């Protein structure tokens, strides 16, 4: 063994080395990416970010170039400092400081001398730049939002953070990413795909030429422009109606599911969230705890739907054959729904309501009773409850709707399990959950879900998932927005409900919202409003709600309006919805008295009540 020992060692070692080389040089080279190679400089060519238009091709978002003046200290020659400072509007001290800073960073690598130079200053500088060796200008681009509206829809862009860089290999530090709204939801379409050129570098970071004659270089793929479904005129009109009110207006074109307007109040100027002051402004918006402008009430606010939900219970009762349109239920300022339990109603004593009347008078007794009967149709309240829930869920409630905006909440539709948790051992019955019958109780919906319900009723039983993007240039929108989704209720039942809704405007709770020449169907709602103040549960003025669509036949617009602390649905929500309809359908609002009433309406005092007064009265 000793004789063969040295040759054995030598040959084994060589074989292992060659195998290792084979692994390192031939097999496992992907491990070592080109980007890790610090002898190669990657320079990206970015496509211009896509423009955003409204449904009528009005430009909402474009790109605005800005210029950074770069400096390479080692290339500096003596220059006319006074003239230079004058062009840039800086003093000599700042000039000297900046040069010192740049030198401290690196003598041979470029660094920013002055950032975000305006177009005007750049125009002057550009002509004389040749005189100032060592200085150069890089062009960058930022978003420019042309209208002070729809900030909640559009969202904004900002530099990627570390998590995003880790999650998505596309992004590199310093690049921009859609942070909210359409900018986020359609990030990949709007940004395109950047191209890359490789350059050879030495270890002083000096570029010495193209890397391998550019065989790895790629050309960028252009970004895509987007048309929103939003009608920006309607959106801005809605903004004006919401001045001094908090809440949301959501309008949908029922036939297509296209969102015509998505108004969140209070709103803010989208240009606040671009440029150098972005983070400062963001904190300011974030710290507005009363108005909460960053909180999109239309998409994120979960509220009890109030009386608007009676329509759903009516439809379910019709489908389950609990009632026909002729079924009459009497109401004596309310009714006992179980022993010693009374639910109040505003109907006069001795009123007898059929479905139609029950809708336009918004009778609590009627809908509480049919809700209870719907559940009790089944042998156990558990079964009844789950059956009811299945119906309700077919309206897109109790879950995320699936629209193309990053924000949203599921709302809540309770089922048997939910009550089992609160009342174990079958201690609950239909009557325990009676508030669901009139849209109070445990049910929570978001305003966009309410708008979608309205579209469903307008369509007599189906909907297309609401969405914000109508067209993408050279591309198609997500096909899920084209599918019809049907509810579990037969189409015929909708007509009965719609008749009642029509009478809500004609002779019911929302007579103030009639528009000459347009048949409107709607339903008011008033939702109780509880908040916690200093840990104590207290009640504030009810939320004002209205849902409706017009025209009654071949509906073109379905609207849900939600006004925080607005009290009756009739008071704010219904007139606002009717003004929106008029604006959209007739392009011009003739009912100036109503418009002025809304424009001048101010609820700020109401919102400040819990913050300023110790004892305050509500529902005034």
Q: Which stretch binds other proteins (CB under 8 A): 16-24, 152-160, 413-421, 485-493?
A: 16-24
When the beta carbons of 36 and 476 are compared against other proteins, the nearer one is 36
When the beta carbons of 35 and 380 are compared against other proteins, the nearer one is 35
Provide, rounded to whole angstroms, the least separation between the CB of residue 73 and other proteins: 21
Q: How far apart are CA 355 and CA 328, in angstroms?
A: 7
Q: What angle do CA 556, 397, 472 make, to 5 degrees?
A: 50
Does residue number 108 form part of the binding site for other proteins (CB under 8 A)? no
In which residue are the tokens 């972005």 written?
278
Is residue 111 within 8 Å of 122, Cβ to Cβ? Answer: no
Does residue number 10 form part of the binding site for other proteins (CB under 8 A)? yes
Q: Nearest CA to 150 among 251, 227, 226, 232?
A: 232
Is residue 575 within 8 Å of 594, Cβ to Cβ? Answer: yes
Does residue number 13 form part of the binding site for other proteins (CB under 8 A)? yes
Does residue number 37 form part of the binding site for other proteins (CB under 8 A)? yes
Q: Residues 112 to 131: which contact other proteins by CB under 8 A?
A: none
Q: Which stretch binds other proteins (CB under 8 A): 7-15, 58-66, 98-106, 605-613?
A: 7-15
Q: Nearest CA to 157 among 68, 52, 278, 266?
A: 278
Q: Which stretch binds other proteins (CB under 8 A): 22-30, 296-304, 362-370, 425-433?
A: 22-30
Give the residue, chosen from 9, 43, 124, 492, that forms a contact with other proteins under the rule CB under 8 A.
9
Provide, rounded to whole angstroms, the least separation between the CB of residue 217 and other proteins: 15
Length of the chain measured in residues: 620
When the beta carbons of 25 and 617 are compared against other proteins, the nearer one is 25
Q: Nearest CA to 381 among 355, 415, 339?
A: 415
Does residue number 43 form part of the binding site for other proteins (CB under 8 A)? no
Does residue number 106 form part of the binding site for other proteins (CB under 8 A)? no
Provide, rounded to whole angstroms, the least separation between the CB of residue 26 and other proteins: 6
Q: Nearest CA to 255 among 519, 481, 464, 521?
A: 464
**How are the residues of the chain apportioned to helix, strand and coil, as percentages rounded to the nearest 5?**
40, 25, 40
* CA-CA-CA-CA torsion sign (260, 265, 270, 274): negative
Peptide bond into 266 cis (omega under 30): yes
Cα Rg of the chain, angstroms: 32
Does residue number 200 form part of the binding site for other proteins (CB under 8 A)? yes
Is residue 577 within 8 Å of 593, Cβ to Cβ? Answer: no
Q: Which stretch binds other proteins (CB under 8 A): 29-37, 95-103, 138-146, 149-157?
A: 29-37
**At a CB cut-off of 8 Å and minimum separation 6, what does 267 contact?**
149, 150, 151, 152, 239, 242, 293
Provide, rounded to whole angstroms, the least separation between the CB of residue 193 and other proteins: 25
**Looking at the DSSP assignment, which residues form a beta bridge with residue 177?**
158
Does residue number 211 form part of the binding site for other proteins (CB under 8 A)? yes
Give the residue, chosen from 38, 78, 326, 534, that forms a contact with other proteins under the rule CB under 8 A.
38
Does residue number 166 form part of the binding site for other proteins (CB under 8 A)? no
Q: How far apart are CA 385 and CA 380, in angstroms?
A: 9
Does residue number 213 form part of the binding site for other proteins (CB under 8 A)? no
Give the residue, chosen from 2, 280, 516, 592, that forms a contact with other proteins under the rule CB under 8 A.
2
Q: Which stretch binds other proteins (CB under 8 A): 23-31, 107-115, 562-570, 595-603?
A: 23-31
Is residue 322 within 8 Å of 377, Cβ to Cβ? Answer: yes
Provide, rounded to whole angstroms, the least separation between the CB of residue 197 and other proteins: 15
Give the residue, chosen from 202, 553, 588, 620, that forms a contact with other proteins under the rule CB under 8 A.
202
Give the residue, chosen from 208, 478, 596, 602, that forms a contact with other proteins under the rule CB under 8 A.
208
Q: Which stretch binds other proteins (CB under 8 A): 14-22, 221-229, 414-422, 465-473?
A: 14-22
When the beta carbons of 26 and 283 are compared against other proteins, the nearer one is 26
Provide, rounded to whole angstroms, the least separation between the CB of residue 447 and other proteins: 51
Does residue number 207 form part of the binding site for other proteins (CB under 8 A)? no
Q: Nearest CA to 253 among 54, 463, 60?
A: 463
Does residue number 40 form part of the binding site for other proteins (CB under 8 A)? yes
Write the CA distances from 567 to 233, 247, 343, 545, integer angstroms. Answer: 28, 13, 20, 9
Binding site for other proteins (CB under 8 A): 2-3, 5-7, 9-11, 13-14, 16-18, 20-22, 24-26, 28-29, 31-32, 36-40, 200-203, 208, 211
């Amino acid at each position: 063994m000793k004789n063969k020992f040295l040759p054995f060692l030598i040959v084994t070692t060589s074989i292992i080395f060659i195998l290792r080389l084979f692994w390192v040089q031939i097999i496992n080279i992907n491990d070592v990416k080109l980007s890790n190679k610090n002898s190669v400089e990657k320079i990206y060519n970015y496509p211009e970010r896509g423009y955003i238009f409204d449904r009528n091709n009005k430009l909402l978002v474009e790109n605005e170039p800005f210029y950074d003046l770069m400096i390479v200290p080692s290339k500096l020659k003596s220059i006319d400092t006074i003239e230079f400072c004058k062009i840039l509007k800086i003093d000599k001290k700042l000039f000297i400081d900046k040069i010192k800073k740049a030198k401290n960073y690196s003598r041979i690598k470029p660094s920013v001398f002055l950032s975000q130079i305006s177009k005007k200053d750049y125009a002057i500088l550009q002509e004389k730049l040749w005189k100032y060796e060592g200085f150069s200008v890089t062009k960058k681009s930022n978003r420019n939002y042309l209208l002070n509206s729809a900030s909640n829809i559009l969202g904004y862009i900002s530099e990627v953070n570390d998590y995003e860089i880790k999650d998505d290999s596309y992004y590199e530090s310093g690049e921009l990413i859609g942070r909210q709204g359409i900018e986020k939801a359609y990030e990949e379409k709007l940004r395109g795909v950047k191209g890359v050129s490789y350059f050879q570098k030495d270890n002083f970071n000096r570029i010495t030429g193209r890397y391998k004659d550019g065989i790895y270089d790629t050309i960028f793929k252009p970004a895509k422009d987007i048309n929103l479904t939003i009608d920006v005129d309607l959106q801005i009109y809605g903004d004006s109606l919401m001045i001094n009110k908090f809440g949301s207006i959501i309008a949908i074109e029922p036939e297509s599911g296209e969102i015509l307007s998505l108004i969140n109040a209070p709103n803010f100027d989208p240009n606040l969230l671009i440029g150098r002051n972005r983070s400062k402004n963001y904190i300011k918006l974030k710290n507005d705890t009363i108005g909460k402008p960053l909180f999109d009430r239309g998409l994120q606010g979960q509220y009890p739907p109030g009386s608007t939900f009676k329509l759903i219970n009516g439809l379910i009762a019709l489908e389950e054959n609990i009632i026909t349109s002729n079924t009459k239920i009497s109401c004596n300022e309310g009714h006992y729904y179980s022993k010693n339990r009374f639910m109040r109603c505003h109907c006069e004593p001795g009123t007898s309501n059929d479905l139609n009347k029950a809708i336009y008078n918004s009778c609590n007794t009627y809908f509480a009773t049919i809700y209870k009967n719907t559940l009790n149709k089944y042998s156990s309240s558990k079964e009844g409850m789950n059956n009811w829930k299945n119906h309700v869920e077919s309206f897109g409630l109790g879950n995320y709707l699936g629209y193309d905006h990053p924000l949203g909440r599921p709302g809540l539709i309770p089922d048997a399990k939910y009550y089992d948790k609160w009342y174990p051992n079958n201690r609950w019955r239909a009557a325990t959950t009676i508030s669901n019958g009139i849209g109070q109780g445990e049910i929570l919906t978001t305003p966009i879900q309410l708008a979608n319900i309205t579209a469903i009723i307008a369509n007599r039983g189906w909907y297309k998932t609401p969405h914000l993007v109508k067209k993408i240039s050279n591309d198609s929108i997500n096909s899920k927005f084209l599918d019809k989704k049907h509810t579990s209720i037969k189409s015929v039942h909708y007509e009965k409900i719609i008749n009642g809704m029509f009478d809500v405007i004609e002779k019911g709770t929302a007579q103030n919202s009639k528009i000459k020449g347009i048949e409107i169907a709607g339903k008011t709602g008033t939702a109780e409003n509880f908040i916690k103040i200093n840990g104590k549960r207290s009640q504030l003025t009810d939320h004002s709600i209205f849902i409706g669509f017009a025209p009654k036949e071949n509906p073109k617009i379905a609207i849900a309006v939600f006004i925080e602390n607005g009290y009756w649905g009739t008071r704010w929500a219904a007139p606002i919805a009717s003004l929106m309809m008029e604006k959209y359908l007739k392009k011009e609002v003739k009912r100036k008295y109503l418009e002025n009433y809304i424009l001048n309406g101010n609820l700020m005092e109401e919102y400040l009540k819990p913050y300023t007064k110790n004892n305050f009265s509500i529902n005034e």
